[in-house]
Amino acid sequence: EDQVTQSPEALRLQEGESSSLNCSYTVSGLRGLFWYRQDPGKGPEFLFTLYSAGEEKEKERLKATLTKKESFLHITAPKPEDSATYLCAVRAPGGSQGNLIFGKGTKLSVKP
């Protein structure tokens, strides 16, 4: 069964303390991996799309990378405003989960 697992479930960082979030997937026929940011009570906000192993995308303090089995979201020198839940999703041929399958997310807290 197609599956997406994110770790850790929660991460507490001090402002400026860089770290990485992990998204591992088992999908037959990956058709893209997506990162989103979700603030409480809000809709997920699209961050990045990755299609091929070795691909990297950057936006401000965030950098996403992709291998054949996992993706990392690296956060460099985070600020309190980076606090949010980060979601990973993969596209696969449609099934009971649809073709956009989400992980449960990593809740990031950045303390000043």
Partner 1 sequence: DSGVTQTPKHLITATGQRVTLRCSPRSGDLSVYWYQQSLDQGLQFLIQYYNGEERAKGNILERFSAQQFPDLHSELNLSSLELGDSALYFCASSQTVNTEAFFGQGTRLTVV
**103 makes contact with partner 1 (CB under 8 A):** yes
| Residue from the set 66, 84, 90, 101 that interacts with partner 1 by CB under 8 A | 101
Q: Which is nearer to partner 1, 13 or 87 (CB)?
A: 87
Residue in 86, 90, 92 with CA at minimum distance from that of residue 104 = 86
Q: Which string of b and e fits 23-36 if b means at least 16 CB within 10 Å? A: bbbebeebeebbbb
Q: List, in sequence order, every residue forming a beta bridge with 88; answer none if it has no partner.
A: 35
Interface residue with partner 1, options 2, 66, 73, 91 (CB under 8 A): 91
Q: Is 54 in the site for partner 1 (CB under 8 A)?
A: no
Q: Does the footprint of partner 1 cover residue 105 (CB under 8 A)?
A: yes
- Report yes or no: 66 and 33 within 8 Å, Cβ to Cβ: yes
Residue 62 β-bridge partners: 59, 75
Residue type (1 letter), 82: D
> Could you say whether residue 72 binds partner 1 (CB under 8 A)?
no
Q: What is the 8-class DSSP label of residue 42?
A: S
The answer to whether residue 32 forms part of the interface with partner 1 (CB under 8 A) is yes
User: Closest separation between CB of residue 106 and partner 1, Å?
Assistant: 12
Q: Which residues bind partner 1 (CB under 8 A)?
A: 31-32, 34, 36, 41-46, 49, 87, 89, 91, 94-105
